[in-house]
Amino acid sequence: RSAVHLPVTPSNVCKARRLYIDFKDVGWQDWIIAPQGYMANYCHGECPFPLSESLNGTNHAILQTLVHSLDPHGTPQPCCVPIHLSPISMLYYDNNDNVVLRHYQDMVVDECGCR
């Protein structure tokens, strides 16, 4: 079978998008002392064939895009997912009135890739 090439505009390609999470929006502003929100970001976009290097695809993802191009209905494109995340610190009161500073890993999406 011949490969099906679907047009993908650059704006549709998998990449990190800006997302600011305001703790007020999730109703946590009353117990989180700081920060009031943070730039969490998210991954969105397509992983088209052929995968370019900038899409950080695994060997598996490269093959999956190839199979997808041959059989778009039977095999989905690889997923656009976070491949590098970083931590943030949060300062809050716990239920025992203690003040807690805690570092949380994997809170900010720095980089996305096709997996």
Partner 1 sequence: SRVEEAKSPERLFLGSLGLSGRPRPAGSQQPGRHVPSALWRMFRRSEGDHAEESDPCTVSEYGVRGNIIRYVQDQGRLVSGWSSSCRACLEKQLYFNMSVLQPVELLSLAQLEITFHWKLLQGPRALSVSLYQVIRATLRGADPQAGRRLLLSQSVRLQHEPTSVAVDLTALAEGWRKPGRNYGLLLELLPLDAEPEELLPFHPGNSLPLEPASALPLVQASLVAVSLNPHQCRSGRRRR
| Residues forming the site for partner 1 (CB under 8 A) | 26-28, 30-31, 33-35, 86-89, 91-105, 108, 110
Least distance CB 46 / partner 1 (angstroms) = 26
In the complex with partner 1, the residue whose CB is nearer, 10 or 27, is: 27
- Chain centroid, CA 79 distance in Å: 10
Among residues 13 and 109, whose Cβ is nearest to partner 1? 109
Q: Considering the complex, what minimum distance in angstroms separates the CB of residue 15 from partner 1?
A: 18
Encoded tokens for 78 = 């690889």
Specify the residue, 70 or 107, whose C-beta has the smaller distance to partner 1.
107
**Least Å distance between CB 89 and partner 1?**
4
104: left (phi over 0), alpha (psi -120 to 50) or beta: beta
